[in-house]
Amino acid sequence: MKSHLKIGTRSSPLALWQANFVKEKIEAKFSELNVELVHIKTTGDKILDSPLSKIGDKGLFTREIEHALIRKEIDLAVHSLKDLPTLTPPGLKIAAITERENTQDVLIAKKQILFSELPNRAKIATGSLRRKSQLLALRPDLEIHDIRGNLNTRFKKFDESDFDAMMLAYAGVFRLGFHERISYRFSESELLPAVGQGALGIETREQDSEIEEMINHLNHPPTEFATKAERALLRVLEGGCQIPIGAYAVCDRHLLKISAYVGSLDGRKSIRHSISGSSYSVLDAEALGMTLANELLKNGAREILDEIRQKPENNEK
């Protein structure tokens, strides 16, 4: 067995929390193993003055780490699963998906008020078109403003701004100890999360069976089935940071339920649907996700997506 293991990760506080979480799990099982974190800066970390939707979304936070993995500079990579494109580069694979944290989006309000208590034309900060679309579908009066940076940076920017509230994922807020700042949690019936939200994806080289065996215990099958269904849906819809798509699947024994949302940028047009089915394998889960994606396309999602893609501002990089 290897005596030294290199884990590739971004260097943001949340990414390091995630990488250390995996590191500790591996060390607990293999006490003689020396595990090292290798910090890698990605395109998404370097470009901080533009909205994500304007700079493209294919591997913004993963590409450089994947290149290091292919070049064998690291042995595995730890990602937020929602950052990983639905198509994995040749030679690589997602070898394990960790048990999911709470998937909800949360509101951080300066006055610790509920979403329904926000004043008319309240200023809400978010870097996500998915959140923007669903927020405006709920409250067309809101003013949505872009905010970028890692979680700590966003809190600093928010506290120094005139924004009334900010939207974030519960998982990151909880993992970095900011959960006391949460003023409201959105239910899935109100606002669907990003594909893969709350789960970690551990990426390895395809033929590296030794590494796969070392991290096999980190894979959580119910989360794997649920997120594979969501990722299959997103792959069919060809979505990413530039398209407002939300999805949430949950696997209970062999029953898988998946819900999805596709909306216009202003939230005025949207379609949401859910389906359930038996799931005894990853292939079953992915088939269910693809079925839902095609149902959405047949019932109006295609027109919404085409309209978004045809707007010049959404094709800028």
Active site residues: 83
Of the candidates 133, 119, 129, the residue with the CA atom closest to the CA atom of residue 163: 119
Measured in residues, the chain has a length of 317
215 near 202, Cβ under 8 Å?
Answer: yes
Q: Check residue 255 and report its DSSP letter.
A: E
- Residue 142 identity: L
Q: Which spans in the chain are helix H?
A: 13-29, 43-46, 63-70, 129-138, 151-159, 170-175, 209-215, 221-237, 282-296, 302-310
Q: Residue 2's beta-bridge partner residues?
A: none
267 near 140, Cβ under 8 Å?
Answer: yes
Angle at 76 between CA 64 and CA 289, to 5 degrees: 85
- Give the Cα separation of 267 and 228 in Å (integer): 27
Tokens of 189: 């019936």
Rg (CA), the chain: 19
- Give the Cα separation of 129 and 265 in Å (integer): 7
